[in-house]
Amino acid sequence: MEKPGGTTLAKTYLLTILAVVLWGLSFVWTNDILARDVPPFTFLFIRLAAAGMLLYAYSRITGALQKVARKDIGLLFLMAFFEPFIYFIGETYGMLATGSAVLAAVIIATIPITCIFAEKFLYKVPFSVYKALGTAITIPGIVMVIMKKGESASVDHYYGIALLFLAVAGATGYAAVVKKLSGSYNSTTIATWQFIIGALLFFPFFLGFGLDGLNSTFFSREVLVPLASLAVLCSCLAFVCWVNAIKNLGMARANIFSALIPAVSAVGAAALGQENITVVAVIGICVVIAGVIIAQKG
């Protein structure tokens, strides 16, 4: 596959940053929903199902939905199994089990590292000093962004750590499968089936653990507005942009941008008055940005 030209590369970076910004804000919207005691499987299933239906309608109307070859159906199911299914379960319940945002963010920040190795062994992409150095720099930057005074990274529930690494495996597997599918299908087609299949995978858990969440609180404006934002912006739009990023930048260089998500969340929470942003966090944001820039070189 040819590397994208200057104009295409600039567009790819803009779309990638847009996805990162939306995912950073997703933590703010998710917190709004969880604060009202909505069960995770309730809003996760509704979010995925809504995103899948919206993307399917859009892609059919615009003609963007491509026909999937029979040989690739298994790959689509594998992609959706990795993310959203494995990733969302690992991240959500891993954070709940560990009780440490610092530990969770540092483990999730290893995704670009695992992608470097996966890209090397699956697609024969050579190791790059820039990618390795840039990735290494972002990890302490993330810690600086999310570290709060007096917060400890210690944890008693080690199965929570295992769940977080399960999320890392899910994100890496997702990127690997998307890289393969993106050679045959456009971003809209891939994202559409990702959410339709993802919703089907979550449906049994919704029936078992999420039906009780469909109460008067769920149908309030305080829940439906952030839920709509998650479905339309953080799922439909962001993942279409992200598939494009993996296709044009590769697994490792695209995933290094995920290191910016905690920084966006911190800035967004500060802008909404939910948290105060510290000098250390500002320095951490600068460190993360430097790491992302270095990883794109070469």
**What is the crossing angle of helices 187-205 and 73-80, to 10°?**
60
Which pair of structure tokens corresponds to residue 18? 């847009």
Residue 248 domain-assigned (yes or no)? yes
Per-residue pLDDT tens over the stretch 206-239: 999 999 999 999 999 999 999 999 999 999 999 9
Residue 12 domain-assigned (yes or no)? no
Residue 231 domain-assigned (yes or no)? yes
Which pair of structure tokens corresponds to residue 235? 């799922």
Residue 289 domain-assigned (yes or no)? no
pLDDT > 70? residue 149: no
Residue 293 domain-assigned (yes or no)? no
Per-residue pLDDT tens over the stretch 24-82: 888 888 888 988 999 999 999 999 999 999 999 999 999 999 999 999 999 999 999 99
Residue 267 domain-assigned (yes or no)? no
Domain total for the chain? 1
Write the CB contacts of 96 (distance below 8 Å, at least 6 apart in sequence): 160
What is the C-alpha end-to-end distance of the chain, expressed in Å? 17
pTM, 2 dp: 0.89
Per-residue pLDDT tens over the stretch 240-273: 999 999 999 999 999 999 889 888 888 887 887 7
Q: Report pLDDT for 2.
A: 47
Residue 287 domain-assigned (yes or no)? no
Rounded percentage of the chain residues whose pLDDT exceeds 70: 93
pLDDT > 70? residue 110: yes
- Domain assignment of residue 36, given as a range: 26-130+152-257
Q: Report pLDDT for 160.
A: 86
C-alpha span between 115 and 284 (Å, rounded): 23
Give residue 225's identity as a one-letter amino acid code: V
Residue 7 domain-assigned (yes or no)? no
